[in-house]
Amino acid sequence: MADYSSQTFLNEKINLPHTNFKVGVVTALWNTAITGVLKSGAVNTLLDAGIPEKNITIWDVPGSYELIYGANKLATDGYDAVICLGVVIQGETRHFDFICDAVANGIANVTIKHNIPVAFGLLTTDNQEQAVERSGGKHGHKGEEAAWTVLKLLERG
């Protein structure tokens, strides 16, 4: 039976028209042990694609909710793409839903308003284990995948 869970396209090589793109990597500090891994994966993927280090801005914001501000600020400052990374873990209260909804909608607004790729690299999990599995574990590396996503869109120039 076909394995519909494996996103093999993520291994496709990216051929950028040039490597002058300025890319922002905005990372939330909450659950920093995991968001740090997402960030390293994203930055390494950009470097592997030929984006020079000087063109990559790394900005750590307090929580995932602030990813919206970070992305909007960098987009306003003329960045070609922004990668947003965060981990929201389900707690006992309804904050999880409010934060996840706000970030999803906020980032969507930034990508539409500024017409640049903005990656939604937000893990929204029931527990820490699920987040670990998605940051280089058995469910892939969502930091690398978020970077691949913006590169794939920048490929068009």
Alpha helix (H) ranges present in the chain?
32-48, 67-76, 95-114, 128-133, 142-154
The least distance separating ligand RBF from the CB of residue 153, rounded to whole angstroms, comes to 24
Q: Which stretch binds ligand RBF (CB under 6 A): 16-24, 48-56, 85-93, 109-117?
A: 85-93
Question: Which one of residues 41, 46, 56, 66 is an interface residue with ligand RBF (CB under 6 A)?
Answer: 66
CB nearer ligand RBF, residue 68 or residue 116: 68
Closest CA to 22 of 85, 76, 78: 78
Q: Which residue is nearest to ligand RBF (CB)?
A: 63
Is residue 95 annotated as part of the catalytic site, yes or no? yes
Under rule CB under 6 A, which residues in 87-106 are in contact with ligand RBF?
87-89, 91, 93, 95, 99
CB nearer ligand RBF, residue 30 or residue 148: 30
Rounded to the nearest 10 degrees, what angle do helices 142-154 and 32-48 cross at?
40
CB-based contact 68:107 (threshold 8 Å): yes
Residue 105, C-beta contacts closer than 8 angstroms, at least 6 positions apart: none
Residues pairing with 88 in the sheet: 124
Catalytic residues: 95
- Residues engaged in binding ligand RBF (CB under 6 A): 28, 30-31, 62-66, 86-89, 91, 93, 95, 99
